[in-house]
Structure 1
Amino acid sequence: MPPIFRSHGDSGRRCDRVQLLQHSVEVIMPVTTDQLEVPAAIRVDLGAIFVSLELSKSTWLITSLSPGHGAKMSQHTVVGGDIAGLFVRFGVLREKAQARTGKLYPLVVIEEAGLDGFWIDRRLRREDWIESHVVDAASIAVSRRRRRVKTDKIDGETLVRTLLAYKRGEPRVCSMVRVPTLKEEDRRRTCRERKTLVGERTLHINRIKGLLFGQGITGYAPLHRDRRERLEELRTGDGDALPGHLKAQICRELDRLELLIEQIKTVEVERDALLAEKREDMPSSAAMLREIRGIGPEFAAILYAEGLYRHFDNRRQLAAYAGLAPTPWRSGSIDREQGVSKAGNPRLRTTMVQLSWLWLRQQPDSALACWFQERVRRNGGRLKKMTIVALARKLLVALWKYVTAGVVIEGVVMKST
């Protein structure tokens, strides 16, 4: 676009140029000094040493960014599991930063949630000069190239940059993990161990049935109390007795199966004791769940130990923690739903889906069950599996309100005392 000048002489042109430049400067530059002193929404004066830990079985890679060292990051390694060596390296970082700047800085440490658990974070939090964070690795944005470079060095630097952005207050830069206490983490062991034992029990049962089916034998129940007596009476499909080695193998399978049955009983006793436990912050949450018809001790223990013991600010946080939050895909004219995120606690999510199917049978007159039936009817009897996931999310929120605030679910039937 050509410049607009007056057409009467050079002096008029020069005057218009000056006025135009002055107007541009007034638009671009701040007018008053008060506007220059307005604090920014994102803080940049973070006086600390930022450290990331890349953990493995053999080595721990320490990536640090210290004040007075510019934008250059330093990297050092210690032997995996050497917590004393880690603190020695932290001390060296503080001494070097103090020598450069004359000030002793605290440390802000970040690590990914993984197989090492949370013991390192708990150990670091004991020191008042260390601020420790555990990040969900899947929440960190990475390059979307088909073949992206991935090394421990690059991952360590990425963690440090992510930590810097998080401390500056940038939203949605990552998701930090709420680290459970040692007691809270230990409370989950009972339900998780029982699930593992039940899975092993199913494997042995199927193996025994498979061995017998190969000889033309069906209808044998390894879980019955007379399993060994019935084993002696079994005959193959052609009327012969069981071969000796096959019978010995099945007996050993029964030995392992009986051991698992006893261990499951022991774990269930510990689970019942957990449900009867009284806590100051949540004195009767597990007992309240068991009062609802359709929720047995196993469901109550999983709901309590895996999710409802935590504090949630709103129902969206609860649904996201269980992986039942929706994931829309909206871009331009595209607007579709991809389903639930499945990014939360898988045990809680699976339990809620199972409980939702059971809820339709045990609580058919409740408002949630009526909502499900009406939704399925409007869909012509289709999309039941998708609707049951939506019911699971609604039911989880309703149980959370019932446990924390005492809001009774509409139309629910309690167990008779």
Structure 2
Amino acid sequence: MQQLANQPEQAAIRIDLGAIFVSLELSRSNWLITSLSPGAGEKMSKHSLRGGDVAGLLRLFATLQEKTRARTGEWFRIIVIQEAGLDGFWIHRVLQAEAIESHVVDAASILVSRRRRRAKTDKIDGETLVRTLLAYKRGEPRVCSMVKPPSPEEEDRRRICRERKTLIAERVEHVNRIKGLLFAQGVGDYEPLRRDRRASLEDLRTGDGRALPFHLKAQIVRELDRLELILEQLQKVEAARDQLLLDRAEMNDLAPVVRLLQLKGVGAEFANVLWSEGLYRHFDNRRQLAAYAGLAPTPWKSGSIDSEQGVSKAGNPRLRGTMVQMAWLRLRHQPNSALSQWFKQRVECNGGRLRKSLIVALARKLLVALWQYATAGVVMEGAALKPA
């Protein structure tokens, strides 16, 4: 008993932190700052600031450092963590410019309670972020997944393909609305995307032989006005995309994109999305690449249970959707490639079933092959190139 009494009492967490650990819970109206400082024991301090008050945040950091120095007689650096969200990466860049170590974490990778009803408040989330940051700095493996923020240039470059995708969705919406309005009148052969859309609208007759009603025709004309505006913006976005690829190719800054364009079945849009959404990053192996695209498998194994839940869908949704589209198009444009032959053989072995599941597997293999081709020049087996 005497020996046990002489042993130092162990704290629940480390007191010799070596830094001030801070978490940011961000919203439009308020920022909740949770901190754990050396010399303050296990108690976490909480402060609230007005949303967007960067100057107040930096003053608070200075105050935390002064209080810690008064308690311990030493100066400690600040380490900050925040979740990736609607605020983007501008706060992270401000902190880095002030020589403050900053981390952005994927919120879905943080472990939470599995109770059916768990308490969730900004206070609890702030403390959870601090504990996650502590574990990450201790070197605990797979405690969370930190996001690699892109540079401002990389972030701005990928806006072109994202804006184009938004415009395409709006174009489909207007086209479907016009077709739906006319179909309710017995007209099913009108194509709003044709160049003679306004002239042909004047000649339309309803299913019972009447001219289009006045207000219906006026509504369709207004829909055509919005549709033509979207088509005009699409042309500008695509021209900016092509000019960007041309400029970078001349500067030899996007040689991997030019290499992708040499493949049959890969156009400017696919090449731009592949590079700006994923391949510009560094990946150590194919598993990291597949996980980033959300194409990694998610097994469920426990005791006698052994099943596959499908792909994780935890990565970049734009890259994942593009790869599935490219997988289907590869079967058409590259039918003799090794990957296309692999898909056909697997479908035949399953009696023509599971095509959708196998196309996702093909998308993963194709992404890895394109990554090796774009970054290292490894030509895919049986791949056909465009004529020079």
1:57 paired with 2:28, answer yes
Q: How far apart, in 2, do the equivalents of 1:288 and 1:60 lie? A: 45
Q: Provide the residue aligned with 2:216 in structure 1.
A: 246
Select 2:258's aligned residue among 271, 281, 287.
287
Tell me by how many angstroms 1:283 deviates. 3.5
8 A Cα contact 1:290 1:297, kept in partner? yes
Tell me by how many angstroms 1:278 deviates. 2.6
Question: What amino acid sits opposite 1:392 in the alignment?
Answer: A
Tell me by how many angstroms 1:274 deviates. 2.2
Tell me by how many angstroms 1:213 deviates. 1.3
Tell me by how many angstroms 1:235 deviates. 1.2
8 A Cα contact 2:136 2:143, kept in partner? yes
Which sits farther off after the overlay, 274-283 or 328-337?
Answer: 274-283
1:67 paired with 2:24, answer no
Q: Provide the residue aligned with 2:287 in structure 1.
A: 316
8 A Cα contact 1:282 1:309, kept in partner? no
When the two structures are aligned, how many residues end up with a matched partner? 375
Q: How far apart, in 1, do the equivalents of 2:42 and 2:252 lie? A: 46
8 A Cα contact 1:323 1:340, kept in partner? yes
Q: How far apart, in 2, do the equivalents of 1:264 and 1:278 lie? A: 21
Residues 245-272 of structure 1: CA distance to partner in whole angstroms, max 9, x if unpaired? 1111111111111000000000001111
Residues 271-325 of structure 1: CA distance to partner in whole angstroms, max 9, x if unpaired? 1122224377954111111110011111111101101111111111000000001
Q: Provide the residue aligned with 1:368 in structure 2.
A: 339
Question: What amino acid sits opposite 1:118 in the alignment?
Answer: F
Q: Provide the residue aligned with 2:50 in structure 1.
A: 79
Select 1:205's aligned residue among 175, 178, 190.
175
Tell me by how many angstroms 1:377 deviates. 1.5
- Please give the secondary structure, in 1, of the residue aligned with 2:221: helix
Using the size of structure 2 for normalisation, the TM-score is: 0.94
Q: Provide the residue aligned with 2:192 in structure 1.
A: 222
Q: Provide the residue aligned with 2:81 in structure 1.
A: 110
Tell me by how many angstroms 1:44 deviates. 8.5
Q: How far apart, in 2, do the equivalents of 1:281 and 1:165 lie? A: 42
Residues 177-216 of structure 1: CA distance to partner in whole angstroms, max 9, x if unpaired? 0011111111110011011011111111111111111211
8 A Cα contact 1:324 1:349, kept in partner? yes
**Superposition CA RMSD, Å:** 1.5
Which sits farther off after the overlay, 369-378 or 47-56?
Answer: 369-378
Tell me by how many angstroms 1:45 deviates. 5.3
Q: How far apart, in 1, do the equivalents of 2:113 and 2:87 lie? A: 26
Q: Provide the residue aligned with 1:13 in structure 2.
A: none
Q: Provide the residue aligned with 1:134 in structure 2.
A: 104
Select 1:383's aligned residue among 354, 361, 377.
354
Q: Provide the residue aligned with 1:176 in structure 2.
A: 146
Question: What amino acid sits opposite 2:134 in the alignment?
Answer: L
Q: How far apart, in 2, do the equivalents of 1:282 and 1:154 lie? A: 45
Sequence identity (%): 70
Question: What amino acid sits opposite 2:282 in the alignment?
Answer: H
1:144 paired with 2:126, answer no
Tell me by how many angstroms 1:237 deviates. 1.5
Q: How far apart, in 1, do the equivalents of 2:252 and 2:89 lie? A: 23
- Please give the secondary structure, in 2, of the residue aligned with 1:276: helix
Q: Provide the residue aligned with 2:8 in structure 1.
A: none
Question: What amino acid sits opposite 1:213 in the alignment?
Answer: F
Q: Provide the residue aligned with 2:10 in structure 1.
A: none
Select 1:276's aligned residue among 246, 249, 256.
246
Residues 21-56 of structure 1: CA distance to partner in whole angstroms, max 9, x if unpaired? xxxx9xxxxxxxxxxxxxxxxx98541000000001
Residues 78-122 of structure 1: CA distance to partner in whole angstroms, max 9, x if unpaired? 000111111111111011001111111110000001111110001
Question: What amino acid sits opposite 1:410 in the alignment?
Answer: E
Unaligned runs of 5+ in 1: 1-24, 26-42
Q: How far apart, in 1, do the equivalents of 2:359 and 2:288 lie? A: 20
The structure with the largest alpha-carbon Rg is 1
Which sits farther off after the overlay, 326-335 or 92-101?
Answer: 326-335
Tell me by how many angstroms 1:347 deviates. 0.5
1:22-37 equivalences under 5 Å are: none
Q: How far apart, in 2, do the equivalents of 1:341 and 1:246 lie? A: 46
Tell me by how many angstroms 1:334 deviates. 2.0
Q: How far apart, in 2, do the equivalents of 1:310 and 1:120 lie? A: 21
8 A Cα contact 2:84 2:107, kept in partner? yes
Q: How far apart, in 1, do the equivalents of 2:17 and 2:122 lie? A: 25
8 A Cα contact 2:22 2:34, kept in partner? yes
Unaligned runs of 5+ in 2: 4-13
8 A Cα contact 1:109 1:133, kept in partner? yes
1:178-197 equivalences under 5 Å are: 178-197=148-167
Tell me by how many angstroms 1:381 deviates. 1.5
8 A Cα contact 1:166 1:174, kept in partner? yes
